[in-house]
Chain A
Amino acid sequence: MKTIKLIYPLACMLAVTLGTTGCHNHQVGKVTALPNSNPGTIGEIPPGTISSAPPMNNPGETPGSIPLASPDTFDNMTEDRAALAAYTIHFAFDSAAIKSGEQASLQSVAAALSADANAKLLIEGNCDERGTEEYNRSLGERRALAAREALAKDGVDPSRVRTISYGKDRPTDPDHDAAAWSKNRRDDFVLLHPKAGM
């Protein structure tokens, strides 16, 4: 009886061993941390939920909460790419946060809009090549929206501002190094004028 009792757990162990052979030998490939990423953060987030309720604050008080105006309101505008070309702003890797050093550029953009009540603004968000296409398309949009939110704080009516993300499809510098990447993580500002006769 005692023997049978002992065989049972042993048989179970054997079954488990046979069933899982090889499962503990996953070869996780060489992990190279992205530049500027936090290597210590892998797998540390506790499982759980985050609230998916709509933000309770008034529009504009929290990032990502200023709805976009209808696309029709930007019909029949011509693009003036030169006017605000000097005020392109740049971003840190994997970030849509506006750097404090970019405030002067944003104020210049805001000033150009307040000087011409008929003008509108197109913000083009762009990324460097590190990152997948759809990740960058969303990140580029977030960068454009972050500038729009900052301009709203500077008094620009957000309904005058349109955003577009080009993801990683429109680099200004086609090279594949840190210098090129830092130039490509950017928002370009394009002044929009009503077409003549409109």
Chain B
Amino acid sequence: MKNKTANLIQIVLPIFLALVTLNVCRAQDEINISTTVNVMGQTKPIPVSLEGFTGAAADVLKFDLYVQGFSLVAPEAAQYRISGSSVGNVEGQVTDAISRQSKLSPRSYTSASLRRQAHAFADDIVLAITGKKGIGQTKIAFKAQSENGAGEIYVSDFDGHNAQAVTRDNAIVAAPAWSPGLLALYYTSYQPGNPDIFYHNLSTGERRIIAKFSGLNTSAAVSPDGKRLAMILSKSGSPNVWVCNADGTDFRQLTFSPEDESSPCWSPDGQWICFATKIHERRVLAKVPAGGGEVQRIPTSGVSNPTDPDWSPDGKWIAFTSQMGDFSICVVPAGGGTATVLVSGQHPSWAPNSRTLVLNRDTGYRQTLSVLDVMTKQVKDIGRISGNDSQPAWAKQF
């Protein structure tokens, strides 16, 4: 028997080794195997170099590329060389440092500001190298709150620049949410003396109350088709998940637990609403069919007290906050499983690329917004508006 095994090993091992070699050769030729390990939180960034850019344009390019999984290195160490200039207008190109071939042909940009031009160039770079659409020209909404608790809702570029207050409530405000494809937000404001949900069209300035029932009205989340809202209402006696039409008609209660439920979000196919609740005295994430039905737990193994779920636009992941003494940003497969703990922070919101998150993190008892690339764990803070900036929401439309 031993002999037979030894014989087999003698025969099989060389073939096995040959296969390994064959596999790698073929892979390099035909399917272009990545030299990086593509695991959330452990992926190596793609090294690129920047030559010829200065000032705001250089800042924008560095920021945009860093939070989409690139590292900035010297030209000798770069896989791709990005070169050009930002005098007058932004112009640039990308060259593969190994093959010396053009990855992105020379191009120049004309638009209102150098920052805008640089964001557009960053998007072209990301698309040329990764094949994925960049996030350089996207927007976020968030709340900025002073020490006395009063705050306003703001909208800015995703890197925090060009921030504008969209409310003048001087009241507690919370949970801004974008209406897909529209320059419009839903949010909570205590301005009427109660936490009520508002709709605010940022193009026309039109604002109206969507939900002003007794008790809690908060955490509006718009369905991917823009037609329905999920939210938390306590009108029936406990903070539960409800849905209604985008115009605030046809309210339907989806959950009926006596627990304090919070932070509903939609699956990108519009079929499910994920939220935070308590089941059997434990804090969990759960989901309920958007049309009503059984509540199902979403396991988040390895972490406790999950809240603030946000479903990735590609449907694969749910990002959330775990509350374990400190706050951690975690990601779990959308069906549940083992959670990957990424960085400290709260309230993650996915970018349209399903790869970058915006979140708020504690900096000496103050909340600061940060942008995180979940694959490489590269993270950068963005400028603070006031005492506390928090609850960021990334506009999902491109």
Please tell me if B279 contacts chain A, counting CB pairs below 8 Å.
yes
Give A contacts to B, CB under 8 Å.
2-3, 6-7, 10-11, 14, 18, 21-23, 25-29, 31-35, 37-39, 41-43, 45, 47-55, 59, 62-71, 74, 94, 96, 130-135, 137-139, 141-142, 145, 162-166, 169-170, 176
Instruction: Write out the residue numbers on chain B whose beta carbons fall within 8 Å of the beta carbon of A51.
Output: 294-295
Flag the segment in B34-42, B56-64, B75-83, B109-117 that touches A: B34-42
**If A63-B238, A71-B214, A142-B260 touch, does A23 touch B305 (CB 8 Å cutoff)?**
no
A11 to chain B, nearest CB (A): 6
**Shortest Cβ distance from A175 into chain B, in angstroms?**
10
Interface class of chain A by DSSP: loop
User: B326 contacts which of A32, A53, A69, A163 (Cβ < 8 Å)?
Assistant: A32
B323 contacts which chain A residues (CB < 8 A)? 34, 130-132, 135
Interfacial chain B residues near A7, Cβ < 8 Å: 12, 15-16, 19
Query: When the two chains form their complex, are residues A52 and B295 in contact, meaning their CB atoms are under 8 A apart?
Result: yes
Asked whether, in the complex, the Cβ of B213 is within 8 Å of the Cβ of A68, the reply is yes
Give the most central of B195, B238, B261, B327: most A CB within 10 Å.
B238
Give the residue of A31, A66, A137 whose beta carbon is less than 8 angstroms from that of B303. Answer: A31
Q: Is B86 an interface residue (CB 8 A)?
A: no
CB–CB B39/A23 < 8 A: yes
Quote the shortest CB–CB distance from B85 to chain A (angstroms).
39
**Chain B, range 1-55, C-beta contacts under 8 Å to A:** 8, 11-12, 15-16, 19-20, 23, 37, 39, 41-42
B residues near A70, Cβ cutoff 8 Å = 214
Tell whether B356 is near chain A: CB-to-CB under 8 Å.
Answer: no
> B282 interface residue, CB < 8 Å from A?
yes
Please tell me if B67 contacts chain A, counting CB pairs below 8 Å.
Answer: no
Partner of B216, one of A38, A48, A50, A165: A165
B346 CB to nearest A CB, Å: 5
When the two chains form their complex, are residues B41 and A132 in contact, meaning their CB atoms are under 8 A apart? Answer: no
Contacts of B212 in A (CB 8 A): 71
Q: Whose C-beta in chain B lies nearest to the C-beta of A137?
A: B218
Please judge, given known A-B contacts A29-B341, A138-B262, whether A45 and B307 are in contact too, CB under 8 Å: no
Complex A-B, nearest 8 residue pairs according to Cβ-Cβ distance, in ascending order? A64-B238, A64-B258, A32-B325, A68-B214, A142-B260, A138-B260, A29-B341, A63-B258
Q: How many A-B residue pairs have CB under 8 A?
A: 227
A142 to B303, CA, bound (A): 24
Taking a contact as CB atoms closer than 8 A, the residue among A23, A59, A133 that contacts B347 in the complex is A133
Taking CB as reference atom, which chain A residue is nearest B329?
A29
The one of A52, A64, A131, A138 that contacts B237, using a Cβ cutoff of 8 Å: A64
Contacts of B280 in A (CB 8 A): 45
Which residues of chain B are within 8 angstroms of A96 by Cβ–Cβ distance?
A: 260
B189 interfacial by beta-carbon distance below 8 Å: no
A135 touches B308 (CB 8 A): yes
Name the residue on B nearest A31 (C-beta).
Answer: B324
Query: Which residue of the partner chain B has the closest CB to A131?
Result: B323
In whole angstroms, what is the CA distance A94 to B283 when docked? 10
Interface pair B347/A141, CB less than 8 Å apart: no
Query: Which B residues are CB-close (under 8 A) to A67?
Result: 235-237
Could you write out 30 A-B pairs with CB less than 8 Å apart? Answer: A7-B19, A14-B23, A22-B37, A29-B341, A32-B325, A33-B324, A47-B299, A51-B295, A55-B256, A55-B258, A64-B236, A64-B237, A66-B237, A67-B237, A68-B214, A68-B234, A68-B236, A74-B214, A131-B307, A132-B307, A133-B390, A134-B218, A134-B263, A135-B323, A145-B215, A145-B237, A145-B238, A166-B172, A169-B172, A170-B149
